[in-house]
């Protein structure tokens, strides 16, 4: 159905001081702070990995060396989804709009696409504790028992869910430092970003920016000062959840087709047609390098 004069009568009537239409500013993109951004030229992208070797055993003189093998890991397929919408405006509506609102609609379409991207990106974290959204290893993103190829497990979640505090943040950093690979060897992960919802911003700033320990009068040095970059993501849905992203991680975003805006005219009616379309996939190939808790 086309946008026509019958359903937007205010745009045709003189006398309004202003017709408000998305008057306020927009935030800069945030999804790129969370993912490795890649491009794709295929219907889907596949990731896989193999383990490294374990610790090297001692060799006795005159005795043949022990042997070791690498192990095939889990596979992850990123299948690109298509997102798109269109609208149509009658020629008469375009001609008779007194306030220029119709001319702003393409920008509104772009805004809707941008917010769709941000929402879809944040949902990797929003759904990261749900068993309805599983990765290649058959687990949710944040669990206490990700299976390793040597038969053991590894966690990237607090053993006891907790709101953000100095104690819980320190424990998360300790747990990250203890991360091992599929052969039991320590993985060198450097925590870089603390990701919170807007409701957690001020508490996070006190934890990361105070010179002394926050919330007590001991005047001890704050060991968290300057350790992590604060990222406030406005599309996280749980105000208590918080996350840590390391320097190396496998949260991936593949662009198959970046947002493409097109316009055309229908010769018979004179109507103008507008559309926006994009294709992408996102997710995680390995859980290491990202840590989270849903809060208490």
Go through the domains of the chain in sequence order and give each one's CATH number: 34-46+74-293 (3.90.1690.10)
Does the pLDDT value for residue 181 go beyond 90?
A: yes
As a whole number, mean pLDDT of residues 129-142 equals 94
As a whole number, mean pLDDT of residues 164-170 equals 95
Closest CA to 146 of 250, 245, 136: 136
Does the pLDDT value for residue 120 go beyond 70?
A: yes
CB atoms under 10 Å from CB of 55, counted, come to 8
Residue 183 near residue 150, CB atoms below 8 Å: yes
pLDDT category of residue 274 using cuts at 50, 70 and 90: confident
pLDDT at 161: 96
| Cα–Cα dist 273/86, whole Å | 7
As a whole number, mean pLDDT of residues 168-182 equals 96
As a whole number, mean pLDDT of residues 122-130 equals 97
pLDDT at 213: 65
As a whole number, mean pLDDT of residues 82-101 equals 82
As a whole number, mean pLDDT of residues 151-156 equals 94
pLDDT at 212: 67
As a whole number, mean pLDDT of residues 228-232 equals 96
């Amino acid at each position: 159905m086309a946008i026509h004069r019958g359903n937007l009568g205010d745009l045709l009537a003189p006398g309004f001081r202003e017709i408000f239409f998305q008057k306020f500013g927009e935030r800069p993109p945030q999804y790129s702070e969370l993912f490795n951004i890649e491009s794709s030229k295929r219907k889907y992208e596949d990731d896989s990995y193999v383990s490294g070797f374990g610790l090297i055993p001692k060799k006795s003189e005159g005795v043949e060396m022990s042997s070791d093998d690498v192990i095939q890991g889990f596979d992850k397929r990123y299948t690109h989804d298509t997102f798109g919408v269109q609208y149509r405006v009658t020629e008469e509506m375009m001609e008779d709009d007194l306030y220029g609102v119709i001319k702003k609609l393409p920008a509104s379409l772009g805004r809707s696409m941008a917010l769709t991207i941000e929402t879809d990106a944040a949902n990797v974290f929003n759904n990261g504790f749900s068993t309805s959204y599983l990765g290649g290893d058959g687990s949710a993103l944040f669990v206490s028992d990700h299976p390793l190829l040597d038969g053991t497990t590894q966690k990237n979640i607090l053993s006891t869910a907790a709101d953000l505090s100095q104690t819980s943040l320190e424990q998360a950093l300790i747990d990250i430092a203890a991360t091992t690979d599929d052969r039991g060897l320590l993985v060198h992960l450097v925590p870089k970003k603390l990701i919170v919802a807007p409701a957690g911003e001020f508490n996070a700033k006190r934890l990361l920016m105070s010179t002394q320990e926050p919330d007590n009068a001991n005047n001890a040095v704050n060991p968290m000062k300057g350790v992590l970059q604060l990222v406030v993501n406005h599309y996280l849905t749980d105000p208590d959840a918080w996350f840590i992203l390391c320097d190396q991680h496998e949260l991936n975003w593949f662009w198959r087709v970046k947002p493409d805006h097109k316009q055309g005219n229908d010769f018979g009616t004179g109507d103008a047609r507008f559309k926006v379309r994009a294709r992408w996939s996102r997710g995680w190939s390995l859980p290491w390098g990202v840590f989270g808790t849903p809060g208490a």
